[in-house]
Amino acid sequence: MKKILTAVTFAASITALVSGSAQADVCDTPSKLGDMGSFPGEVITISGSLMERDEEMMTNTLSCFEKATGAVIKYSGSRDFAALIVADLRSNNAPNIAIFPQPGLAGDMAKEGHLVPLGDDLAAWMTENYGAGSSWVDLGTYANASGKKDFYGFAYKMDLKSLVWYSPEQFEDNGYEIPSTMEELIALSDQMVSDGNTPWCIGVESGNATGWTATDWMEDLMLRTTSPENYDRWVSNDLPFNSPEVLNAMEVYGQFSRNDDYVAGGAAAVATTSFGDAPKGLFSSPASCMMHRQASFIPAFFPKKGEEVASGEADFFYFPPYASANLGNPVLGAGTLWTMTKESPATRAFFKFMSEASAHEAWMQQGTFLTAHKGADLSAYATPALRKQGEILSNATTFRFDASDLMPGAIGAGAFWSEMTNFANGQDAQTTADNIQAAWDAIK
Amino acid sequence: MVSRTLSHTVLALIVFVWIVPFVALVTTSLRSEIASKTSGFWTAFTPTELGHRFSTHDKGQEMEVIELTGNIFDRLNDEDNSFPVSGNVKSIFIKRRVQDPENPDKTKLIRKLVPPGEPMVVRGGSFVFQANGDFIWTFPEKTLPKPKKLDAFINQDAVFGTKAYVEVLFEDKQVPNALISSFIVTIPATIIPITIAAFAAYAFSWMQFPGRDWLFILIVCLMVVPTQLAFLPILKGFSGIASWATALNHWFTNCEVTSSCQVASKSFATLWVTHTAFGLPLAIYLLRNYIVGLPRELLQSARIDGANHLQIFVKIIVPLSVPALASYSIFQFLWVWNDLIVALYIGPFDNTDLVFPIRLEKQLGTFGDQLHLLNASAVISMIVPVIVFLSMQRYFIRGLLAGSVKGG
């Protein structure tokens, strides 16, 4: 799942292009940028894993800081960020800022003493001004070498996962309605099957990260079948992986993914279909499936790279909760963490910049950016689709982070992924859960 | 005779196996993104049946009509004509919900493949299409039809285009930039080690000094040191040198330490140094084995004529060693040109300074969804080594033999 975080909503990036949001005036935002100080010619170096369109939009956004202060920002993005940043930090080549897609790695680097605390003021600000603020602060708080906990990671640019993508035209042709409860969603799936259609496209293949799509499903279903408190206990393994609550969620996921009638290509195709190819089934001719559950970034993988969302060929609805379970509207999400790896006055000012509503709006205007900043003007969102996602984020009664990102690396980016892939290949739920729990016991 | 036929067959087979991926890459880079993702490259040369989704007309057409006409191919090529679709329409796949005749309370989904010439019901109108793509959509009364997307199966003619190349080379400056950066890295990183190695090889073969053989053995041993292991210490070293150079720069020019006189610890220069360091052991070994085999008499007569070491080296050794020098420079050139990992860890990270392999990697996108561009870039990146190899291959073969056949 970690990969997802890096990706982030490519989605409306392209829709932003289509709707012609002028790149030139991204800094012209509804909220005004405060005084950022003056740092003419000072260089701020940033390393991260954002690339291509994401990188472009980030550069546009950061140019607002450059304009305001005269500082120069140099960004380097790489797929191999996780390996490169470790080498850079250990060899005294730290950039000023590192953008971590994984809280786990950021925590490790804090422990080695490579991160600079952002200060209690910023933590207090985030608690106050972010939706579900204290949980964002927790996500960026780690212990250093001596065990002292500090706030290191500033969450900026968020991702929404609890979405189901579909083709409105297909729904119209077939006469299907958007379900508002999980019961309705399952009834709709059954109706699709009886009509001779295939309801779901599911693909969990993703190179050496194969399985993360399945962990996202699991996490979303955990939030819909048991309490958020249990979810938190599950993340810290106070609730073992093979407990009835977790097993139940896995069985529910199995009802979707291991049902030959439900999945395009049959249940056996789940493990071998690339997560990026899976949504293409919605648009293939003829369509091979009707629905696809995936995070907000997925339109980048649609055949027209997300243009479908702007033109109305693709849309999404909220992955609904069970009406019977009474658990409110849970939402699963993630975000990138910006950390200070080499201190300088300009870098300090940059973190102040990130707390400005204007810095959020500048990116919102370009698309592919969701924020929990309560002060940001929602009208700045580039497209109605993004605004709708922003609303889902703000209407959430429960917001939880991607569990596999919070679990220790050996689980969240290891056993959980690989065992869920085995589950897709036919291993039963009990064995799957026992194996993950055994892997967890082994690293305790 | 039989063995000759056999060896020819085996040779042809090997050539075939080697050439297939190249043909696949070039073919794929010339196909449309959708075609290359949905069918194999071998289907590109013959008509293939592919599904296409087209919409009957554009949104916002504000006209009430009884009859709407159009052409499926025009509609498909209207959006993007860099890979024009042509051929003939085999059928249209239609889905519609109707009253279930057996159960009046329920509705039933109809799924059907409609051949050309047969009318079908679409949004209350009658839709007829021909194999050449023409369609007529008639309504019982004047209506303002909403656009409708339909799935057409088309027996599609082969089509190629250079869209990916145009996009890669001209629309975004990053690939040309990366080509230049790669040359900036590769040329010095080839010339520097070969120059040093030639001098060293001469010294190891024709000069007498204590510990010569032990030193040579040490250098040969250095060939096995993996680059990857050395990244951290090398980076540490460079960052130390860089901060020292920054301080020195500050001392002399009195500039602001924080910005203008900062010396980068990752730059083209650090790449040259690293590639030189890791290329030298092999270069010295290869050249020394060649130079040691040059006729002793030649050097002795030069000595008698009063030539010193430098003169012997420049006037005799270098001209005689051209094959070995050329073959080593091909090795080194290809290695540096294709190198990703050293450039990633030690090279400059400014977007404009990235070398070609890093650009290729970035082109994969955060999630590997830019494959069509990657194919075109990959072909471009292959052209340079091919030119280098072809222009120097006659030396290369002689140079390869150089290490093994001694004497003269």
Q: Is the dihedral of CA A276, A281, A284, A290 positive or negative?
A: negative
Q: Which of A52, A87, A313 minimises the CB distance to B370?
A: A52
Residue B12 lies in a domain: no
Contact predicate B42/B21, CB 8 Å:
no
| Mean pLDDT, rounded, of chain A | 84
Q: Which of A173, A276, A283 minimises the CB distance to B95?
A: A173
Q: Name the residue in chain B with its Cα closest to that of A313.
A: B149
Residues A257, A210 share a domain = yes
Contact A52 B362 (CB under 8 A): yes
Q: Which residues of B touch A287 (CB under 8 A)?
A: 151
We report the CATH number of the domain holding residue A363 as: 3.40.190.10
pLDDT recorded at residue A1: 42
Residues B394, B296 share a domain = yes
Contact predicate B157/B86, CB 8 Å:
yes
pLDDT recorded at residue A165: 94
Residue A325 lies in a domain: no
pLDDT recorded at residue A16: 36
Instruction: State the average pLDDT over residues B13-25.
Output: 92
Residues B230, B332 share a domain = yes
Instruction: State the average pLDDT over residues B300-305.
Output: 88
Domain end among A399, A415, A431: A399
Contact predicate A155/A335, CB 8 Å:
yes
CA angle A248, A250, A252 (to 5 degrees): 70
Closest by alpha carbon to A254, among A415, A434, A432? A432
pLDDT recorded at residue B154: 87
Selected for mutation to probe chain B from A54, A78, A79 (highest B CB count within 10 Å) is: A79
Lowest mean pLDDT among A50-54, A295-299, B266-270: A50-54
Contact predicate B302/B316, CB 8 Å:
yes
Residues A170, A139 share a domain = no
Residues B397, B293 share a domain = yes
Domain end among B93, B127, B157: B157
Q: Which residues of B touch A79 (CB under 8 A)?
A: 361-362, 364, 366
B203, pLDDT greater than 90: yes
Q: Which domain holds residue B312?
A: 166-402
Selected for mutation to probe chain B from A1, A76, A167 (highest B CB count within 10 Å) is: A76
Residue B407 lies in a domain: no
The end-to-end CA distance of chain B, in Å, is: 35
Q: Which residues of B touch A77 (CB under 8 A)?
A: 362
Residues A415, A343 share a domain = no
Instruction: State the average pLDDT over residues A292-314.
Output: 83
Contact B235 A47 (CB under 8 A): no
Pick B396 or B403 by higher pLDDT.
B396
Q: Which residues of A touch B152 (CB under 8 A)?
A: 285
A92 inside 8 A of chain B by CB? yes
Q: Name the residue in chain B with its Cα closest to that of A347.
A: B258
Contact B96 A91 (CB under 8 A): no
Contact A76 B344 (CB under 8 A): no
Q: How far is B339 from chain A (nearest CA, A)?
A: 15
Residues B351, B203 share a domain = yes
Selected for mutation to probe chain A from B122, B168, B227, B367 (highest A CB count within 10 Å) is: B367
Residues 132-191 of A with CB under 8 A from B: 169, 173-175
- Burial (CB < 10 A; 0-12, 13-18, 19+), residue B252, is exposed
Instruction: State the average pLDDT over residues B371-392.
Output: 86
Q: Which residues of A touch B156 (CB under 8 A)?
A: none
Instruction: State the average pLDDT over residues B35-58.
Output: 82
Pick A353 or B408 by higher pLDDT.
A353
Q: Which residues of B touch A74 (CB under 8 A)?
A: 349-350
Q: Name the residue in chain B with its Cα closest to that of A3.
A: B367
Contact A169 B149 (CB under 8 A): yes
A3, pLDDT greater than 50: no
Domain end among B133, B157, B181: B157
Contact B362 A174 (CB under 8 A): no
Residues A144, A111 share a domain = yes
Model confidence pLDDT, tens digit, residues A122-165: 888 888 888 777 778 888 888 888 888 889 989 888 888 889 99
Residue A104 lies in a domain: yes
| Helix, strand, or coil (residue B160) | coil
Instruction: State the average pLDDT over residues B229-241.
Output: 88
Residue A74 lies in a domain: yes
Residues A136, A22 share a domain = yes
Q: Are strands A43-48 and A72-77 parallel, antiparallel or unpaired?
A: parallel
Model confidence pLDDT, tens digit, residues A59-69: 888 988 888 88
A356, pLDDT greater than 90: no
Residues A218, A167 share a domain = yes
Which stretch, B20-24, B154-158, B252-256, has highest mean pLDDT? B20-24
Pick A265 or A16 by higher pLDDT.
A265
Selected for mutation to probe chain A from B114, B355, B366 (highest A CB count within 10 Å) is: B366
Pick A208 or B206 by higher pLDDT.
B206
A305, pLDDT greater than 80: no
Residue B3 lies in a domain: no
pLDDT recorded at residue A149: 87
Domain count, chain A: 2
Q: How far is A40 from chain B (nearest CA, A)?
A: 9
Model confidence pLDDT, tens digit, residues B72-111: 888 888 877 778 888 888 888 887 777 777 777 777 777 7
Residue with tokens 């990130």: A354
Instruction: State the average pLDDT over residues A189-203.
Output: 91
Instruction: State the average pLDDT over residues A189-215.
Output: 88
Q: Enumerate the H helices of B96-173 as residue ranges.
A: 163-166
Confidence of residue B336 (pLDDT cuts 50, 70, 90): very high
With a pLDDT cut of 70, the percent of chain B lying above it is 93
Q: Which of B38, B345, B367 minimises the CB distance to A276?
A: B367
Domain end among B118, B139, B157: B157
Backbone φ/ψ region at B117: left (φ over 0), alpha (ψ -120 to 50), beta: left
pLDDT recorded at residue A274: 85
Residues 236-295 of B with CB under 8 A from A: 236, 238-240, 256, 258-260, 262, 265-266
Model confidence pLDDT, tens digit, residues A381-407: 878 888 888 878 777 777 788 888 888
Domain count, chain B: 3
Residues B175, B38 share a domain = no
Confidence of residue A327 (pLDDT cuts 50, 70, 90): confident
pLDDT recorded at residue A82: 81
Residues B31, B54 share a domain = no
Residue with tokens 């996009």: B167
CB pairs under 8 A between A and B: 112
Residues A255, A151 share a domain = no
Contact B51 A285 (CB under 8 A): yes
Contact A74 B349 (CB under 8 A): yes
Q: Which residues of B touch A42 (CB under 8 A)?
A: 258-259
Residues A11, A137 share a domain = yes
pLDDT recorded at residue B365: 64
With a pLDDT cut of 90, the percent of chain B lying above it is 20
B176 inside 8 A of chain A by CB? no
B384, pLDDT greater than 60: yes
Residues A417, A272 share a domain = yes
pLDDT recorded at residue B271: 92
Residue B4 lies in a domain: no
B34 inside 8 A of chain A by CB? yes
Residues 13-72 of A with CB under 8 A from B: 41-43, 45, 47, 49-52, 54, 72
| Cα atoms in the 13 Å half-sphere on the side-chain side of A109 | 34
pLDDT recorded at residue B256: 60
Residues 109-128 of B with CB under 8 A from A: 109, 111
Q: Which domain holds residue A179?
A: 163-294+407-443
Instruction: State the average pLDDT over residues A160-180.
Output: 89
Closest by alpha carbon to A57, among A10, A4, A113, A124? A10
CA angle B191, B196, B197 (to 5 degrees): 95
pLDDT recorded at residue B117: 87
We report the CATH number of the domain holding residue B274 as: 1.10.3720.10
Distance between CA atoms of residues B193 and B278, nearest Å:
9
- Output helix, strand, coil percentages for chain A, rounded to the nearest 5: 45, 15, 40
Closest by alpha carbon to A356, among A106, A125, A97? A125
Residue with tokens 């080194």: B332
